[in-house]
A and B are shown apart, each in its own frame.
Chain A
Amino acid sequence: MNALLGIEWLKIKRYRTFWVLAGLFILLLPLWNYEVENGFIRLGGGKDGINFLNSAYSFPQVWSNLGFWGSIFITFISILVIILTTNEYTYRTNRQNVIDGWSRMQFFHSKVLLVVVLSFLATLYLFVMGMLFGGVNSGSLNSLFSEFEKVGYFFLLSLDYLGFALIIAILIKKSGLAIGLFLLYSMIIENILKSVINHNLDKPYGNLLPLQASDELLPFPLLQMAKGMIPMGATLSMTTYAWMAIAWCILYYFAGRLILSKNDW
């Protein structure tokens, strides 16, 4: 396992695109949240609007908030996974790895491990940011670990998004098309599908779609406050969503295995 990761690192560490995309994630997460904290998004707009997210960066709400914005920025890492995988197809280095002595599954597992490690690192980074923001904004550390499950949810969400990106890359094989399809699906198509299913079935099963399942784990922070005020549609429990996200990840794994073992490279 270490051998596989070591070789993946050799492939990545000198690749400028990796550093750019990782750097964007690393930079934007704290920067964006700092801006939000200082009143970037206000109800009513303008300097006199209500900065309703002000209290959102102290413990324990910081976990929810960072988690939500993290779930947006994970897109950068997803694009990275797609590029790294489609590159192997474009330059046929996937073939070369197998010819040199890897089994097909070893190649697949090196990419799966990449997804897991990137998810872990993103979550770790989120944790550190959370401690920083929360530490600065909270009076006490009493409520540090309440709502801490959001950090775990972020790890699941990362696995879900990155795993989905990996499968898209394996299926489409061309970077531009794969990225386009991924963004189109995650931003537009899934929302449409979700609404259609929810409406037609009159139950929130549309929330169980691949990326949506983990999106539900880390909703927009406003919802916490507005749940009382605005009538929201029915929703399923967090546990259900968590299990669904895990199920999707398992599906991605076996789908990848099947595709890569049965086809010509």
Chain B
Amino acid sequence: MSPILSIQKVSKAYGPIQALKDVSFDVPEGCVFGVLGPNGSGKTTLLGTILDVLIPQAGSYSWFGGMKAEDARKQIGSLLETPNFYHYLSAYNNLEITGRIRKNGIDDRIRVLHQVGLFERKDSKFQTFSLGMKQRLAIGAALLGKPKVLVLDEPTNGLDPAGIAEIRELIRTLHKEGLTIIIASHLLDEIEKVCTHVAILKRGHLLLNGPVDEVLHSEDQVEVRAADITGLQNALQSMPGIKKIRLSDNTLQLTCDANTDTAQINEFCIGKGIVLSHLLLRKKSLETKFMELTGT
């Protein structure tokens, strides 16, 4: 299966600031692809480039194996950076323009407005909308006409927790229906809950990309605490099976290999005369990996 989107060595600078450097990756069909990075890493620049809003200095990209860019965009629902609509038009009429440009979806407007919870306000002018409503309308416009691909830049921006949960559910549902979804976000726990693939950017460089399982590894973390933290730390240095020890907040974070479990650690410590006051197994999270990779 050819990838939905293929990016080759894209570089983009804003004057002296190198926003993207040699970024390449493929987005397979039907995945939920998360583009992660700290603020300023180039996520929005990357999405802007593949939507022809920004011009890269080098590199190329192709949608659907080489379709003409504007035709491809008619089948992609996108939300880039901020909701952009005509402030004097109602939600309903703004969607009319979206539908006409895409040559598809004029009849879909009511369904989409229901889906994002804006049906009651469909005739209100866009300038009267709150931030959350504007965001919902933007998501609605992206969903208009049931596109094959969604490109969402920080879709939960401005939404309350209920809204964030709704977006999560929406993405899950659409993923099941076979859509390809590309999300840029810095909300790692949200990404972790829905994404099948990730690409991590830092200062314009692609640090890694691939399926979430591969990127995360199966390195579990164990948290331990004892009265004498330094003693505990020294003791654990000698325990085989402990790959890494990190001290944070008076707690030791241990990275263990697959064969070591909490019972063994407990036994080891007792054997050294140390009684643990706290022992917790934590599945490695994307956040930890992310912090490691981006060096924060």
Contact = CB atoms under 8 A, between A and B. Distances in A.
Contact of B86 (A93, A98, A100): A93
Interface string B11-40: 000000000000000000000000000000
Contacts of A104: 52
Interface stretch (B98-106, B247-255, B272-280): B98-106
Interface string A1-25: 0010011001100111000000000
A95 interface: yes
Instruction: Name the interface size band of chain A.
Output: 20 to 34
Interface stretch (A139-147, A167-175, A257-265): A257-265
Contacts of B88: 14-16
B64 to A, nearest CB: 14
Nearest to B54: A264
B98 to A, nearest CB: 5
Interface in B54-108: 54-55, 69-71, 73-74, 78, 80, 82, 84-89, 93, 96-98, 100-103
B100 A6 contact: yes
Nearest to A96: B84
Contacts of B70: 98, 101-103, 106
Contacts of A7: 97, 100-101
A14 B101 contact: no
Contacts of B87: 91
A14 B90 CA distance: 10
Contact of A263 (B55, B69, B71, B73): B55
B102 A100 contact: yes
A199 interface: no
A92 B100 contact: no
A99 interface: yes
Contacts of A55: none
A14 B69 contact: no
Contact of B101 (A97, A262, A265): A97
Nearest to A90: B87
Interface residues of B, number: 29
Contacts of B206: none
B84 A95 contact: yes
B51 A98 contact: yes
B74 A101 contact: yes
B54 A100 contact: no
Contacts of B51: 98-99
A95 B97 CA distance: 13
B220 to A, nearest CB: 42
Contacts of B54: 264-265
Nearest to B105: A100
B141 interface: yes
B263 interface: no
A93 B78 contact: no
A10 B70 CA distance: 21
B53 interface: yes
A91 B53 contact: no
B85 A99 contact: no
B13 to A, nearest CB: 11
Contacts of A262: 55
B101 A101 contact: yes
13 contacts: A11-B86, A11-B89, A11-B97, A14-B88, A15-B88, A16-B88, A91-B87, A97-B101, A98-B53, A99-B53, A99-B78, A101-B71, A262-B55
Given A7-B100, A100-B98, 15 more contacts: A3-B100, A10-B93, A10-B97, A14-B93, A91-B86, A92-B84, A93-B86, A97-B97, A99-B78, A101-B102, A103-B70, A104-B52, A262-B55, A264-B53, A265-B53
Interface of A: 3, 6-7, 10-11, 14-16, 91-93, 95-104, 106, 262-265
User: Across chains A and B, which 5 residue pairs bring their CB atoms closest together, nearest first?
Assistant: A101-B74, A103-B70, A96-B84, A92-B84, A100-B101
